Structure 1
């Protein structure tokens, strides 16, 4: 009786971390929107990285974790710091000056589609199957629906900002494929990996601060709290939770956290910021989710399972005939 309870506890912990990461990352779009009322986009990116690095660094020190000695590993982690943190954080922060937090959270759900493209076509860590190609195509169609080109394209702000968010999710997709190819077997713990990723990115952003984070600052309690939550939890602890989920469930299943984040982001945007959705945004999001399911082979697995059940039922019925 004791063995099953020990098995359930770690699984329950992973499920809890999966849900917490989805809720925190879904809330991050609200925190960014509030923070942008008093600080610039570069300052938002800088704050979240520095606060995240401090939170993770404290945990690393308390647990006395060792940093890797290999210069090659540090080189790969520097690439990830740029592509997984610095560039997408700047793009998201800038774009949210021109789009709602709800729309930004919906676009963030395209990350699995971008991951499939980057893993199959750019870094070639896996071969794209027919279902994945169809899924990518369906996902692109969903993005077009979200943009709504029939409404007229405002190239000065909104569409450019939406493309910037897609650029950020493309960075995430590239980074996830890069991790799989170059740092999957380095032996680092989830905490050490997250600390190096965020910490190196924080150092890079501090160096870039005179260029990208030089703007007037107006702080209020709401802005300060948003920056702390976005940094220490959203860019700190949530990354550790996600790494633990990836290692327990694998990248494909772990990436389904993107089903949670847009729901949280949209609900908070509507309830707290009073944002409104156009009909095409949730419809496009549904199309994107269908593309994700196709790209991950989930719809095909369900179809095969249903066909197997049908065949088994037919066989049993034939066997029972006189």
Structure 2
């Protein structure tokens, strides 16, 4: 993976690791619809001037409205509500830990949709290590939620795993801002009536307002720009591996701000998660079909971030980065 890819990956690991804490703070005083509406509206307002400045926003929406609608529903409108509603009953750490199932579901979804990408032994090992680390963190927390909340998080996982595939296959030529702004705007409009109906009778506490501001500005506006650029840089499957880092950040935030315990088991899980992330996102030698022909996933790797057949991972990543850059 290129230096740019690692920077985006590290950034996403942090900015999408703290929303669980912020959502938990916000839903103490506000409805899930209100939280989602405010987050989407603020993110859209912050990014709209930049999207307009690029030009062609309306033309882009007209040309790509169908996949953009699918992306908005599967990535934002559905998952953000189910996750926020689940956190009324689950701890922020538990929610963050359960979301770490996204890479596994992402691999299965890619296979179901006909992606022939060759994962390779290193990436499979990385996925397994990351899942083991998540298991160490998750099992002690599973008794803290109910069936409905756990089901809502599962729906969130499916959405988070599927939406990047849509972005990579159908929206890779759409400028990042011109994809994010219409999707966030649509989500805000969808939740506006419910938010108005549950508008708080009094001004929320400063901590709640600060959580909403951070959710909209950092965890939505900044994070979405970085995430879509990450998909273009390393592909949809590898990009979802950030959800192995997110739980570590979620647990650390819980320990720092909610006085949740930080045990030796949690520290060991951190090591497994980080090691798994490195292996699962590294470029590796792709498989070959009989007769020396490269597997289909190798050629796709140059547009979706999948692995390519090379003895030098760094050279391979540079090739991916240059090709994907031309596609933007």
Q: TM-score, normalised by structure 2?
A: 0.70
For residues 300 and 69 of structure 1, the distance between their equivalents in structure 2, rounded to whole angstroms, comes to 37
Name the larger-Rg structure.
1
1:19-65 Cα offsets, whole Å, 9 max, x none, are 33322211211111111121111211111111111111122134445
Equivalent residue for 1:162, pick from 150, 158, 163: 150
Correspondent of 1:89 among 80, 83, 97:
80
Question: Does 1:251 pair with 2:242?
Answer: no
What is residue 162 of structure 2 aligned with on the other side? Answer: 174
Would you say 1:194 and 2:180 are equivalent positions? Answer: yes
Q: In terms of mean alpha carbon deviation, does 11-20 or 188-197 score higher?
A: 11-20
The equivalent residue for 2:318 is: none
Aligned to 1:214: 198
Measure the CA separation in 2 of the matches of 1:294 and 1:14: 14
Deviation at residue 110 of structure 1 after TM alignment: 1.8
Q: Is 1:100 aligned to residue 84 of structure 2? A: no
Q: Given the alignment of the two structures, is residue 125 of structure 1 paired with residue 115 of structure 2, yes or no?
A: yes
Provide the rounded CA distance (Å) in 2 between the counterparts of 1:250 and 1:274: 37
Task: Assess if the C-alpha contact under 8 Å between 2:120 and 2:285 holds in 1.
Answer: no
Structure with the greater relative contact order (CA < 8 A, sep ≥ 6): 1 or 2?
1
Gapped regions of structure 1 (runs ≥ 5): 1-10, 306-322
1:285 Cα deviation after fit: 7.8
The offset of 1:125, in angstroms, is: 3.4
Partner of 1:310: none
Q: 1:197 to 1:258 in 2, by over 3 A?
A: same
How many Å separate the matches in 2 of 1:260 and 1:133?
17
| CA distance in 2: counterparts of 1:15 and 1:298, whole angstroms | 12
How many residues in Structure 1 have an aligned counterpart in Structure 2?
285
User: Is structure 2 residue 14 aligned with structure 1 residue 26?
Assistant: no
Alpha-carbon distance between aligned partners in 2 of 1:26 and 1:44, rounded to the nearest angstrom:
17
2:104 alignment counterpart: 113
Q: 2:211 aligns with which of 215, 226, 235?
A: 226
Deviations 1:294-316 (A, max 9, x none): 87787998xx98xxxxxxxxxxx
Q: Helix, strand or coil: the match of 2:198?
A: coil
Is contact 1:153–1:159 with CA below 8 Å preserved after alignment? no
What is the Cα deviation at residue 119 of structure 1?
Answer: 1.4
CA-based RMSD of the aligned residues comes to 3.8
User: In the TM superposition, what whole-angstrom CA distance separates every residue of 1:48-98 from its partner, at most 9, and x where no partner exists?
Assistant: 111111111122134445344464611211111111001110111111112
Q: Is the 8 A contact 1:81 1:200 kept in 2?
A: yes
Q: Distance in 2 between matches of 1:15 and 1:295?
A: 13
Partner Cα separation in structure 2 for residue 226 and residue 239 of structure 1:
17
